[in-house]
Every structure is written in structure tokens, then in C-alpha cells.
């Protein structure tokens, strides 16, 4: 096995750490809303929720759930927001210091009707799945050579400052569709106009679950490929990106296994390389492990 292949496997294991032996999964409580599981609550969070008996029932049978009187998405969301605002002030939970004032929908599957909404910064406390849109921006020369546009994140970003990223990406906020998110992020981050962004093709999803001291992170990224005109150059929009670079795929492939690349975005690029046959199953002995590692769900 090549050094590059082993580094890819290390990346995939890290991003799927919740699935690994000895992870926190066996100690987490299932988070259920309306009888449906929507997440995983770590033990240290479960103990904090005992402060709020009007919102959360005592854990039973490995399950954390809301009180029966909270029967609508609005009442659930409002009650949880009161809890989160208090925890933000009094708990010392580091993830809440990154409060976004942006709600994410909470539901068993993306296609389901939301059961409630939750502040984005708090989702890891309940292991609620987060969804995003990632765009592979690339060009194809007259001779068929493929190059990819990469963004370098601003050093002021709350997460992964200064690392390489896809040309545009963003979380899907409550009540907002995928295409709307795609067009919005393309314009805000890379100054790609809607008339170009709308050409993007939905091609895949990349799913994984990791855990750390902030909780559990089940995430699924909707992946779009966008072939950009050869004479178009993305430019900095809202300041979340500091620069863009157009690189040969061979160089992109090298970079995605380095510490200079945002991990989940590296997975999106790996998915691109596999789908476009730049990684060949005859030549890559870990091909099946790569594919499986890009599509892990809980």
C-alpha cells in the first residue's frame, strides 16, 4: 500500500471515528423526538439536561427525549432554545461559544418533515445530523486536462481557519433548499454568479460521523460538480475565503491527504477523483475501503 493510500485511510477512519471500536457510541443515549431517533447525546450532556425537568424526561432505556407536553415543532424548538441559552451562559460548553444564530432542522432523514429546529452550534450536543452543500469547481482544457479550483479559508473562520477547501460550501439552514444554498454560497464565497452556479450537477453525497470533546457530529454533504468556464476566475466575496487557486488534479490529490486541507472537503475531493476515474480500482487496492468510508451513516 502506498503512503498516500494509507493517509487516505487514516483520514476516513478519523472522520468516521464514531463507528470505530471503543468510540463513545456505546455510552451515548439515543435522542428521540416524537418517538423517532434523531441523534445521540453524550453522557456529559445528559447529566446537564437533568437541570431542565420541564423540557427533558429523565433518561430511560438508553433514551433521552422531550417531555410529552412538547408536541409541536414550534413548542419543542422554543423550549429547547431556552435550555440552550441557559447552557450558553452557565455550562462552559465550548461549542456554544460559536453560537451562529442559525437554526438547523431536526428530523430522522433529510426528506422528512422537521420535528423541530436547533441552533447550529448546539447540534453536536445532541448528535443531530447536519447537512451541507459542497461544490467541486473545475475546468477542462481543450486537450481534456482537468484542473480544480480550491479555496483557502480565511484565518478568521471559526472552524479550520486558513485551510484549503472546496470552491464553495455551506450548511443547509432550516427551511432552505439545497439549490438555494448552492447558489447563495457560490455567490457569497466565490463571486460565482447564479447563471453559472445553476449549471452545477448534483452527483453524490458524502456521509460520516466523528466525535470529540464537543459531542457527536453526524454529517451528510450533498455534492455538486460545477464545470467553470476556462476564462472565469472565482474571487473573494464575503471574506470567508482569502484566495482561490487553480491546480492540476495530481497536485490536488497530493494535497488532500495533508494537514493543509479541511478534512470533510478532502473527502468531497476524493469522491470526485473516484467518480471521474482518476482513482482506478485495478491500481488502488484500497478502492473499496475508500468508497465505503465516504458513505457511512448512523
What are the sequence ranges of the domains in the chain? Answer: 3-18+130-293, 22-126
- Whether this model's pTM surpasses 0.85: yes
For residues 142-156, average pLDDT: 96
Can you list the positions of beta strands (E) in the chain? 29-33, 36-41, 63-65, 103-106, 116-119, 130-140, 146-153, 164-165, 168-171, 201-212, 215-227, 241-248
297: Cβ–Cβ under 8 A, 6 or more apart, which residues?
Answer: 207, 209, 218, 220
pLDDT band at 271 (very low <50, low <70, confident <90, very high): very high
Instruction: Specify the pLDDT at position 239.
Output: 84
Q: Assign domain 3-18+130-293 one CATH number from 3.20.20.370, 3.20.20.150, 3.90.79.10, 1.10.3470.10.
A: 3.90.79.10
Q: Which residues are registered as beta bridge partners of 79?
A: none
Taken as a whole, the chain contains a residue count of 298
Average pLDDT (208-228) is 96
- Find where cell 445528559 sits: 46
**Mean pLDDT of the region 113-128:** 97
Among the CATH numbers 3.40.50.150, 3.40.50.80, 3.30.750.160, 3.40.50.720, which is that of 22-126?
A: 3.30.750.160
Amino acid at each position: 500500500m502506498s503512503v498516500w493510500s494509507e493517509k487516505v485511510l487514516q483520514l476516513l477512519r478519523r472522520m468516521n471515528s464514531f463507528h470505530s471500536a471503543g468510540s463513545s457510541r456505546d455510552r451515548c443515549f439515543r435522542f428521540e423526538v416524537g418517538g423517532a431517533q434523531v441523534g445521540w447525546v453524550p453522557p456529559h450532556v445528559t447529566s446537564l439536561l437533568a437541570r431542565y425537568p420541564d423540557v427533558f424526561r429523565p433518561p430511560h432505556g438508553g433514551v433521552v427525549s422531550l417531555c410529552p407536553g412538547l408536541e409541536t415543532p414550534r413548542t419543542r424548538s422554543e423550549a429547547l432554545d431556552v435550555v440552550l441559552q441557559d447552557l450558553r451562559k452557565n455550562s462552559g460548553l465550548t461549542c456554544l461559544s460559536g453560537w451562529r444564530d442559525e437554526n438547523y432542522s431536526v428530523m430522522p432523514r433529510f426528506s422528512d418533515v422537521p420535528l423541530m429546529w436547533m441552533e447550529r452550534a448546539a447540534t453536536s450536543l445532541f448528535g443531530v445530523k447536519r447537512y451541507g452543500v459542497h461544490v467541486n469547481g473545475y475546468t477542462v482544457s481543450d486537450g481534456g486536462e482537468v484542473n480544480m479550483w480550491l479555496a483557502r479559508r480565511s484565518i478568521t473562520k471559526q472552524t479550520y481557519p486558513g485551510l484549503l477547501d472546496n470552491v464553495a460550501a455551506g450548511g443547509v439552514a432550516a427551511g432552505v433548499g439545497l439549490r438555494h444554498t448552492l447558489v447563495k454560497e457560490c455567490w457569497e464565497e466565490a463571486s460565482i454568479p447564479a447563471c453559472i452556479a445553476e449549471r452545477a450537477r448534483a452527483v453524490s453525497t458524502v456521509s460520516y460521523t466523528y466525535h470529540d470533546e464537543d459531542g457527536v457530529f453526524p454529517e451528510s454533504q450533498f455534492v455538486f460538480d460545477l464545470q467553470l468556464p476556462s476564462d472565469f476566475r472565482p474571487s473573494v466575496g464575503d471574506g470567508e475565503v482569502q484566495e482561490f487557486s487553480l491546480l492540476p488534479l495530481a497536485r490536488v490529490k497530493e494535497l488532500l491527504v495533508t494537514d493543509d486541507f479541511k478534512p470533510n472537503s478532502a473527502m468531497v475531493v476524493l469522491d470526485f477523483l473516484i467518480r471521474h476515474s482518476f482513482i482506478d480500482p485495478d491500481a488502488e487496492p484500497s478502492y473499496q475501503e475508500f468508497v465505503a468510508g465516504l458513505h457511512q451513516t448512523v
